[in-house]
Amino acid sequence: MPRGDFYPRFSSLTALSSLDLSGNTLGGQIPADLGGFASLRYLNLSVNVLEGPLNITGLVNLETIDVTVNRLSGAIPASFPPNCGSLVNVNLSPKSASS
């Protein structure tokens, strides 16, 4: 199955409010540029092969995040979620409910 990385020009989409990249076999780390999406309210990166820490600094309007079924690692910071006062739904479980 092919494995992809994030498209480098995503960082120019600063007014984006919803991003669903689930099930795309995206690999590598979640790019730091993702923090530039200050308008982002919904983020679904589930069912990929993302690795490394969960870095969502800068996503101040985020309401929902789903990063299930990935290879993320590292401790969740005590300040998680950083500056996300609107965050309502968080799904960090390593496996989906149907697994």
- Is 15 among the domain residues? yes
pLDDT bin (cut points 50, 70, 90) of residue 2 is very low
- Is 2 among the domain residues? no
Reported as a single tens digit per residue, the pLDDT across 27-60 is: 888 887 788 888 999 999 999 999 988 877 888 8
- Is 96 among the domain residues? no
Query: What integer pLDDT is reported at residue 47 of this predicted model?
Result: 94
Burial of 64 (0-12, 13-18, 19+ CB in 10 A): middle
- Is 4 among the domain residues? no
Reported as a single tens digit per residue, the pLDDT across 80-97 is: 666 777 888 888 877 543
* CATH code of residue 55: 3.80.10.10
Domain around 37: 11-91
Checking if the pLDDT of 98 tops 80, the result is no
- Is 60 among the domain residues? yes
What's the domain count of the chain?
1
- Is 51 among the domain residues? yes
